[in-house]
Structure 1
């Protein structure tokens, strides 16, 4: 079979109070919607949703997706679809709520509307869902047959989210360049080249405008950064495909989710830290001076906008060595995206990189779990 690309939602609408403005587009999808959301997201969208339901005389039902996009949560959601006899899904919330909604629509073969309530990820755009355990540990991802039928980007909803969500979205989005340039930077395929160059544009935009956007919520710079994190980041994954999507930064994120009690940080915060780990690996294994320069640039940028630079910043200062090893082993599992790097990475070397993300240029780290680990004290 020829490889297929799921590049973009069928339709994207942006603006203020978009849910009400898009009522005709929504109504074309059916008349028995199932609204999937978390409690906070549901409360945020409730006034618009209830007015829309009244205007269109929808026969609607609402259901919480749970704490995570897990197989158990999806079984409960499928039961809700059958019970309500829903004919389309409306997913509202952050990344996990949208992932659950998209995968639910895929399994039930129903249309799907995505309404992000923060700019923390590009999940509203993509044909991909991540599955987690009930404890929040990453399990696997699922490629979907299509992107959403309708994406509604309501700047008022995004503005109501905590600023930390946009900071996390910046961390998740800027990873596109550092991962795509490694996995696909030497590709001769036209669309892959386009995706990598779009990732460069995305990086430059975020480096130039993120500080201003965070200082001036609702401004033009803020909207451009929101568009970059929610929309443009999704474009890159759509055009470039899986090969252009994730490498070590997301692999480190996935590994960190297996540390018990690690649910206090956002997806993009862990991914941002993972970029530093990836660059550190390139320095340690390849002696890559460009990676060193990129890491130093990012450390300054992270300090300006509040992204984590170290395990301590992630709240993992006293994580045990056995848990850190578990995270590194998961990041280096045989099917991990970390193996898209042009060199082999062992759990020991991954640990060494994870504990030295702020190392100075002349610092050397021995790839041993017990030797010369700067600013890290295991507590086994």
Structure 2
């Protein structure tokens, strides 16, 4: 007689599953893909979630499957927010949607993924720019109605289908790809720190992928931006949309965001940052993170890496200072508010292997272009700490005593 299976086999173990990649990935080089067939695998009543601009460029695609499927369209609003999601959930119920299609940039795709999870629907992501890896990941960022970052939400699975149509992405402004390069670069600078000394095989693989990703971007970004639609351009788009997602998928919780994204999150608390893209703020945040490593760990490799990035940023057009983010005249009180948010207790900034206070963070934020100091000791010159080039004011930052040692008046580049 057959024996019954052990109870441990019949009862699912309460173990967290790691969401590594979308179930299917389709890369389209030319011509419209058979969207009605692709979407029909997942449902017959799709709800398209997009922004107003993305809907405009998506119209030919929408027409390709709206005759065979019962399609509804909804915009996510200004941000992926609780208010927006509440409205979208009602739209799902009214339409009786059975599959969600996210079309657009990071916020549209985040809204679609989170909505699909809340409504227990499959989700398809179709990015219209290469500005983020949101089309890949099992993660959504929540913002307030005014665009201030609130929290990130881990999702149980990556999208069911990712459609990367290069012709669609090519329609986006070059600035979006530049921002995507900045966002993708952070994978190396953050994962190499947050992974620590982990010997986990997938974590090691993720960190090495992040290093390769960085090298690809260093080598190919300038050529890609000079030749939109070319083979090298496609390779860089693959790097920002797909390969950056691989790093997060393989590394999971061990390859977290750290200071670069924490700085981004802090800056979003200021209304004046609405005009800058996610990846632009993150790229600036990488410089801040490296500057912190210089100031608090006497890390000369971080200084060298920062200056390597400054050259690269200048070549492709990424911001290097607050002024480049249109925050050159930022009042000290607002800078402090951003720094305090970035340093809040649950911030990813605290995955750094040293303690960072709002004061030291502000010192790093206003000295991202500082020269490599020849002076011994740890410290940042007071000229850096109240740099009018970045702050646009004469107010000073009160630094802790340990940061006021070894001051060098030649730390700031003219």
TM-score normalized by structure 2? Answer: 0.88
- Counterpart in the other structure of 1:96: 107
Secondary structure of 1:324's partner? Answer: helix
Q: Say if 2:339 and 2:361, in contact at 8 Å, map to a contact too.
A: yes
Gaps of 5+ in 2: 1-13, 396-414
Q: 1:72 aligns with which of 59, 83, 92?
A: 83
Q: Which has the larger radius of gyration?
A: 2
User: Take 2:133 and 2:215, find their aligned partners in 1: how far apart are those partners?
Assistant: 18
User: Take 2:385 and 2:325, find their aligned partners in 1: how far apart are those partners?
Assistant: 22
- Counterpart in the other structure of 1:109: 120
- Counterpart in the other structure of 2:133: 122
Q: Say if 1:95 and 1:123, in contact at 8 Å, map to a contact too.
A: yes
Matched, 1:49 2:67: no
- Counterpart in the other structure of 1:171: 182
Secondary structure of 2:279's partner? Answer: helix
Q: Say if 1:18 and 1:152, in contact at 8 Å, map to a contact too.
A: no
> Which stretches of structure 1, 4 residues or more, deviate above 6 A after TM superposition?
367-370
Q: Say if 2:35 and 2:61, in contact at 8 Å, map to a contact too.
A: no
TM-score normalized by structure 1? Answer: 0.96
**Post-superposition offset of 1:374:** 6.1
User: Take 1:296 and 1:135, find their aligned partners in 2: how far apart are those partners?
Assistant: 34
**Post-superposition offset of 1:345:** 0.3
Matches within 5 A, 1:289-328: 289-328=300-339
- Counterpart in the other structure of 2:167: 156
- Counterpart in the other structure of 1:247: 258
Q: 1:285 aligns with which of 283, 296, 301?
A: 296
User: Take 2:387 and 2:350, find their aligned partners in 1: how far apart are those partners?
Assistant: 24
**Post-superposition offset of 1:48:** 1.7
Q: Residues 216-270 of structure 1, C-alpha deviation per residue, up to 9 Å, x if partnerless?
A: 1111110000000000000100110133030000000000001123200000000
Matches within 5 A, 1:128-139: 128-139=139-150
Matches within 5 A, 1:27-46: 27-46=40-59
User: Take 1:237 and 1:59, find their aligned partners in 2: how far apart are those partners?
Assistant: 34
Matched, 1:257 2:268: yes
Secondary structure of 2:142's partner? Answer: strand
Distance change (3 Å), C-alpha of 1:225 and 1:370: closer
User: Take 2:63 and 2:379, find their aligned partners in 1: how far apart are those partners?
Assistant: 58
Q: Say if 2:256 and 2:348, in contact at 8 Å, map to a contact too.
A: no
Gaps of 5+ in 1: none
Distance change (3 Å), C-alpha of 1:323 and 1:368: farther
Q: Say if 2:386 and 2:394, in contact at 8 Å, map to a contact too.
A: no
User: Take 2:266 and 2:381, find their aligned partners in 1: how far apart are those partners?
Assistant: 18
User: Take 2:370 and 2:28, find their aligned partners in 1: how far apart are those partners?
Assistant: 43
Q: Residues 260-319 of structure 1, C-alpha deviation per residue, up to 9 Å, x if partnerless?
A: 232000000000000000000000000101101100100000000000000000000011
User: Take 2:393 and 2:81, find their aligned partners in 1: how far apart are those partners?
Assistant: 31
**Post-superposition offset of 1:24:** 1.8
Size of the alignment, in residue pairs? 378
**Post-superposition offset of 1:105:** 0.2
- Counterpart in the other structure of 1:377: 392
My pick for the range that moved more, 201-210 or 2-11, is: 2-11
**Post-superposition offset of 1:379:** 7.0
**Post-superposition offset of 1:365:** 5.2
- Counterpart in the other structure of 1:360: 371
Q: Say if 1:37 and 1:64, in contact at 8 Å, map to a contact too.
A: yes
Distance change (3 Å), C-alpha of 1:91 and 1:240: same
Matches within 5 A, 1:257-276: 257-276=268-287
- Counterpart in the other structure of 1:5: 18
User: Take 1:69 and 1:378, find their aligned partners in 2: how far apart are those partners?
Assistant: 34
Matches within 5 A, 1:228-243: 228-243=239-254
Q: Say if 1:185 and 1:196, in contact at 8 Å, map to a contact too.
A: no
User: Take 1:12 and 1:71, find their aligned partners in 2: how far apart are those partners?
Assistant: 29
Matches within 5 A, 1:192-211: 192-211=203-222
- Counterpart in the other structure of 2:401: none
Q: Residues 67-118 of structure 1, C-alpha deviation per residue, up to 9 Å, x if partnerless?
A: 0000000000001000111111111000000000000000000011100000
- Counterpart in the other structure of 2:350: 339
| CA-based RMSD | 1.7
